[in-house]
Amino acid sequence: MNNLTTENNLPNYKVNYSSLKGVRKFLRHRFSLLNTYKAWYTILIIILFFYLGGFSFIQNILFDLSLNNEYFTKYSFANSATSLFQLISYLFCLTLPVILLVYYLFNQESELILKPDIIILRYFAGIKQFTYPRNILIAVKFKRENNLKDDGEVLLEFSNKKALKLQLKYFFDDQSKRFFLDYLQNTPQLNQIDSGLIDLLSKPDNQSYTQLWLEALSNEANISNLTNLPLGYSLYNNRYTILSQIAVGGYSIAYLAYDNVIQKNCVLKEYVLSNSVHLEIQKKVLQDIEKEYKLLKDLNNPKIVKVLAMFVENSRAYLVLENITGKSLRQLIADNKNFSQLEVIDLAYQMIEILSFLHNLNTPIIHNDFTPENLILDADSILHLIDFNISNYADTFTTSLIAGKPSYTSAEQVKGHLNVQNDIYALGASLYFLLTNQDPEPLAQSSPRSINHLISKTFDEVIQKCTNQDLKFRYKNVLEIKDDLDKI
Amino acid sequence: MDEFKLPLKYTTKTNQFILSLIFLLMPLWAVILPFTIGLSLNQFFQVPIILFLFFLVLLFIFLALVFEDDKIIMTRHWVSFPLFLIPRLKFKREFAYQEILKADIVSDLPNKEQIVLFFNNNLNLTMDLKFFKNIQEIEQFLLTIEICAKNCERSSNLIEYQNKILIAELKDNTLSYTKLWDEELNYRFCPTNFQPLTIGARLRNDQFIVLKQIAFGGFSAVYLATNLNKQEVILKEMVIYNFLTPEQVIKVNELFRREASILAKLNHPKIAKILDFFVENERHYIVLEKIWGENLRLKIRETGCLDENLIIQIAHKLALILDYIHGLNPPVIHRDISPDNIILQNNQDVFLIDFGSANEIISSATRTMIGKKAYISPEQFKGKANKASDLYSLGSTLFYLATAQEPEALTQQELIKFKPNCSVFLNKLIKDLTNLDYNKRPLLNDVLSKIDSVLNDLA
């Protein structure tokens, strides 16, 4: 089921769509649940009895008995009875393979295959198949069944007057529903999809717990647990294919991946939730990750990485983030790029813009990890902020092991205080890094001019004020920095 | 991803026995007997009663297959009950989770607990806990109901029962207050960027078997394991292969090996011995002696801050240990003195477990600070730990022992502000030890002699 089959090198998207579910359910219930051996034992007995001439055996015994009993000799075995037995036994032996064949056919899952250019509905392992080109899909209509079950009928209408009716309850799982929705939403000519349908198809936010617990309950971890994801590995029902590992943080690993449904690169941030026996532990960890997800989801700023989705698979939680092409500031410096003072000032303005956005939200967000690793410069020289690892849930991990990058962590942040000035300190430290190509000394006021005399005195003072160890003398908000920068 | 399906066994022993019997005798009653009777009857009635019996046999077989159903099946959207229960459920077998309105647990007699489920349409079902296979399956059943049945109102008795099962499984012998459990879980278990070993995992050719996960987070994990001699040991695991280049990995592993061999040479009755160290699957392991007893952090969380006398005695013993390691050639700096790493036995013996040197290696390799923030000295934070850094950590630890509150990081601690009736001596000791300037901290010898004299006065 997890095969990614391709035709003409186009990635394929298979959704499990089980229209014969009722019958299959019954069959599976009775015959495949760990009790198969009993069913087969029964069938075997019957077959053996008939094939090995059980009839005649019993007949003979009775015949022998009857010979010794006067009462029985009055009646003799009619020959017709014997041939009747034989007829029945042959009939039975013939119907058995037919029954098995029907069982096999009904047991095959039907498939709804969503390819980039066509939609295929297959029954009975391909014996029956309906094909529709995607570009003639003109409308999606939705009729809800009853309010108790998540059910309804989706009608896909095509311009050649054909229509495809799909029952929601036959979509095998929530992943399939979501893919179906993404597929529809990415079909350009479809402009309107019923919001009721969207609701039913998109996963509510707390599904990740459910997924996690259910996976753990059924012990479903099925990839080698001790290594990271190999290249080419597919996740989430083949939606994401791992391309490469791009970064490792204290709590997570970031992979570059390809999203097969919307056909773009994306970044998967993976948090390992140990498949320890105790779900409570995983749940707590998952709660914090969900917090990060919710935090990011509501942010809407072109300079801040967007989070697209969250899911749980194989005891790992994934955040799907948009991919930003470019190198981080740290990478650029490592590649021997030297930033001129003007370039750094321009970057400073961009940093201020980002921080000012975050600090001025209705509930201000303090980033707490504003470092050169987390700032990406794209081809148009626009700065992007990625990675909200520590952010506002610093309170959860205060006594835990990882304290952040020392050079960019203010003393107050180490003490666990949440303050916009933490970010200002990190901003100053980052500017120092850009100007001198080295990390500043931790817990100390930084002055790049002491290393590089070419830096203007005013700029140096700005950076000193950002990294002042005394909160009273540090900038209180980023706009103050902007004012001072304007003076250069 | 396959659809979630959880089969749980639900049946009584007598049921099972009867059914097995019926099943084994099936050839007899299902096939031989009917045909025999049929043939005999055929004599009298000349009616193809056999045909009828043929179908009767099939019916018996069908009934047998149907009645030996003993599984509760739970999937994402519905739960179905074994067939012998359905008469009570008005012949409805499968229920969507939305139909479960209430779940409760009652116990008429001790040891005769029953789960009661209420469905809409006024249906209800009583299930005997004894019919389940074991406690784990009961837990799975209740958990699945909890997760999937969003409309279900779970009675407080049921929630309490579930918690009881959970605690019974999670509990280690040292923690007895359940309300601390939440925080404890948060403290000990954080997300990791690697998959920790599971219980039952084997290392080094089956030499070690993992018994329990004690803690994990970030790059490292701690396990309780058994070795070849069936003794319990502590395994510390560190994973740094994720992002270093292969050459760097070799270098870091070499650093680990060197640290571990230095620590292995330590020979002090009050320091947990390093029994072994090795690398496997690109993970670095240190095998430590298991020291029985509660660490001070847990102890204080349970019973509150310690008596001053005891604190001073503990300080004395710790100072002696520090004296030993600092006095080695070359001196060994502990780097991670904190309540977590100190075990108190019988209210008098003090043991030091775990060194922070591995943290330092990881810290420099990853450029992130690893270590418990509250007890780290400023110079250690900057990456320049020295002997006096251990004294700072000692002072912070004593503060914690005296107040049961975590000290503020990178700050000189003043005990008197939190405990106005503390002794002048202890206040000054802690204040001096946690001086932010390491040059101004007292020397270990001075500390030892001062404590000695105070203890003598008390005696």
Task: Determine the pLDDT at residue A37.
Answer: 63
Whole-angstrom distance, CA of residue B331 vs CA of residue B323: 10
**Chain B 331-370, residues with CB within 8 Å of chain A CB atoms:** 359, 366-370
**B324 and B361 both lie in a single domain:** yes
Tell me what pLDDT residue A256 has.
93
A49 touches chain B (CB under 8 A): yes
Q: Determine the pLDDT at residue B320.
A: 94
Q: Minimal CA–CA distance to B343: which of B333, B334, B353? A: B353
Mean pLDDT of B276-285: 86
Q: Give the pLDDT confidence score for residue A1 in this predicted structure.
A: 26
- pLDDT (tens digit per residue) in B370-389: 667 889 999 988 888 899 99
- As a whole number of angstroms, the distance between CA B95 and CA B77 comes to 9
Handedness of CA A220, A222, A226, A231 (dihedral sign): negative
Tens-digit pLDDT profile for residues B222-238:
899 998 888 899 998 88
Is the distance from CB of B435 to CB of B441 less than 8 angstroms?
yes
Total count of residues recorded for chain A: 488
Look at A217 and B144 and tell me if their CB atoms are within 8 Å. Answer: yes
pLDDT at position A343 = 93
For the CA atoms of chain A, what is the radius of gyration? Answer: 34
Q: Which has more confidence, A134 or B88?
A: A134
B180 within a domain of the structure (yes/no): no
- Comparing CA positions, the residue from A46, A97, A74, A76 lying closest to residue B35 is A46
Can you read off the two tokens belonging to residue B429? 């000791």
DSSP E strands in A191-290: the ranges are 234-235, 240-248, 252-259, 264-272
Nearest CA in chain B to A82: B39
Identity of the amino acid at B170 = L
B219 located within any domain: yes
pLDDT at B426: 92
Residues A324 and A301: beta-carbon distance below 8 Å: no
For every residue of A225-249, DSSP letters joined together read: TTS-PPTT-EETTTTEEEEEEEEE-
Specify the higher pLDDT residue, B54 or A223: B54
On average, the pLDDT of chain A sits at 75
Distances from the Cα of A96 to the Cαs of A7, A101, B56, B408, in angstroms?
38, 9, 17, 78
The C-alpha atoms of residue B84 and residue B81 are separated, in whole angstroms, by: 8
Of the candidate ranges A322-336, A356-370, B96-110, the one whose mean pLDDT is the lowest: B96-110
CATH of the domain at B384: 1.10.510.10
**Gap between the Cα atoms of B199 and B78, Å rounded:** 31
pLDDT reported for residue B303: 86
Stretch (H or E) spanning B342 = strand B342-345
Ordered structural domains, chain A, with CATH: 14-19+110-201 (2.30.29.30), 22-107 (no CATH), 207-322 (3.30.200.20), 327-486 (1.10.510.10)
B131 & B217 share domain: no
Query: What DSSP character marks residue B244?
Result: S
CA-to-CA distance for B453 and A211, rounded, in angstroms? 62
A175 CB near a chain B CB, below 8 Å?
A: yes
3-state SS track over B200-225: CCEECCCCEEEEEEEEEEECEEEEEE
Identify the burial level of B418 via C-beta atoms within 10 angstroms of its C-beta, where 0-12 means exposed, 13-18 middle and 19 or more buried: middle
**Which residues in chain A are closer than 8 Å to B80, comparing Cβ atoms?**
29
Q: Do B2 and A213 touch (CB under 8 A)?
A: no
Question: What does the pLDDT read at residue A96?
Answer: 67
Residue of A nearest to B149 (CA): A210
Decide if pLDDT at A355 tops 70. Answer: yes
| Cα→Cα distances A181→A38, A195, A409, B429, Å | 42, 11, 43, 66
Residues B355 and B358: their CA atoms lie apart, in Å, by: 7
**What's the rounded Cα separation, in Å, for the pair A476 and A472?**
8
Burial degree of A255 (CB within 10 A; 0-12, 13-18, 19+) = buried
What are B124-178's pLDDT values in tens digits?
A: 888 888 888 777 778 778 878 887 787 788 888 888 887 777 666 555 433 344 4
Of the residues B115, B133, B167, the one at which a domain ends: B167
Residue B177 lies in a domain: no
Q: Does B40 contact A at CB distance below 8 Å?
A: yes
Q: A274: closest CA among B371, B368, B197?
A: B197
For residues B293 and B345, the answer to whether their CB atoms sit within 8 Å is yes
Q: Closest chain A residue to B371 measured between Cα atoms?
A: A401
How far is A119 from chain B, CA to nearest CA, in Å?
21
Tell me the nearest-neighbour CA distance from A334 into chain B, angstroms.
14
- Find tokens 């250019």 and name the residue: A117
8 Å CB contact of A38 and B23: yes
pLDDT in the model for residue B425: 92
Strand order in the sheet with B78-80: B5-9, B71-75, B78-80, B94-96
Count interface pairs A-B at CB distance under 8 A: 250
Find the angle CA(A226)-CA(A229)-CA(A230) to the nearest 5 degrees.
Answer: 110
Residue B404 near chain A (CB below 8 Å) = no
User: Distance between the two ends of chain A, CA-based, in angstroms?
Assistant: 63
Instruction: Please check the confidence at residue B198 and state whether its pLDDT lies above 80.
Output: no
pLDDT band at A156 (very low <50, low <70, confident <90, very high): confident
- Is B184 contained in some domain? no
Q: Please tell me if residue A148 touches chain B, with a CB cutoff of 8 Å.
A: yes
Q: Which residue has the higher pLDDT, B41 or B305?
A: B305
Do B283 and B332 sit in the same domain of this protein?
Answer: no
Do B316 and B437 belong to one domain? yes
Q: B178 in a domain, yes or no?
A: no
Instruction: Count the Cβ atoms, other than its own, within 10 Å of residue B396.
Output: 29
- How much of chain B, in percent, has pLDDT values that exceed 90? 24
Pair (B272, B314) in one structural domain: no
> How are beta strands B232-239 and B283-289 bridged, if at all?
antiparallel
Closest CA to A37 of B224, B403, B32, B65: B65
Q: Are residues B409 and B265 in the same domain?
A: no
Number of domains in chain B: 3
Whether B424 is in a domain gets the answer yes
pLDDT exceeds 60 at position A277 = no
Residue A27 has pLDDT above 60, yes or no: no
Evaluate whether residue B172 is within a structural domain. Answer: no
Domain boundary among B270, B289, B308: B289
pLDDT tens per residue, range A105-146: 666 666 777 777 888 887 766 677 788 888 888 888 887 766
Residue B125 near residue B117 (C-beta atoms within 8 A): yes
Judgement on whether residues B446 and B342 belong to the same structural domain of the protein: yes
List, for residues A206-258, the tens digit of each pLDDT value.
566 666 666 665 554 444 455 677 788 888 877 899 998 887 766 778 899 99
**pLDDT, position B301:** 83
**Nearest residue of A to residue B194, measured between CA atoms:** A272
Report the pLDDT value the prediction gives residue A465, as an integer from 0 to 100.
94
Higher-pLDDT residue of A21, A61: A61
- Smallest CA–CA distance, residue A90 to chain B, in Å, is 13
pLDDT at B197 over 70: yes
Q: Does B214 touch chain A (CB under 8 A)?
A: no
Does one domain contain both B275 and B332? no
Residues B39 and B152 in one domain: yes
User: What pLDDT shows up at residue B56?
Assistant: 67
CA angle A88, A89, A92 (to 5 degrees): 85
CATH of the domain at B240: 3.30.200.20
Listed residues B252, B274, B289: the one ending a domain = B289
Same domain for B118 and B228, yes or no, is no
pLDDT range class, residue B98, cuts 50, 70, 90 = confident
Domain range for B269 is 191-289
pLDDT tens profile B431-454? 999 999 999 999 999 999 999 998
Name chain B contacts of A236, Cβ cutoff 8 Å.
1
Confidence of residue A278 (pLDDT cuts 50, 70, 90): low
pLDDT tens string A39-51: 667 667 766 666 6
Secondary structure element (H or E) that encloses residue A24, with its range: helix A21-31
pLDDT at residue A33 in the model: 43
**Per the domain annotation, does B129 fall within a domain?**
yes
Q: What does the CA dihedral A143, A146, A148, A151 come to, rounded to 10 degrees? A: -40
- Are B324 and B447 members of one domain? yes
Stretch A394-409: mean pLDDT: 60
| pLDDT reported for residue A129 | 79
Question: Do residues B390 and B322 touch, judged by C-beta distance below 8 A?
Answer: yes
- pLDDT at res. B125: 87
Whether A5 has a pLDDT exceeding 70, the answer reads no
pLDDT (0 to 100) of residue B54: 62
Residue A472 has pLDDT above 90, yes or no: yes
Min Cα–Cα distance to chain B from A29, Å? 9
Taking the C-alpha atoms of residue B33 and residue B26, their distance in angstroms, rounded to an integer, is 10
Tell me which of B283 and A171 has the higher pLDDT: B283
Residues B56, B158 share a domain:
yes
Output the CA angle B103-B109-B113, nearest 5 degrees.
Answer: 30
Q: How confident is the model at residue B36 (pLDDT cuts 50, 70, 90)?
A: low
pLDDT surpasses 90 at A464 = yes
Q: Taking all residues of chain B, what is their mean pLDDT, rounded to a whole number?
A: 80
Contacts of A75 (CB under 8 A, 6+ apart): B43, B44, B46
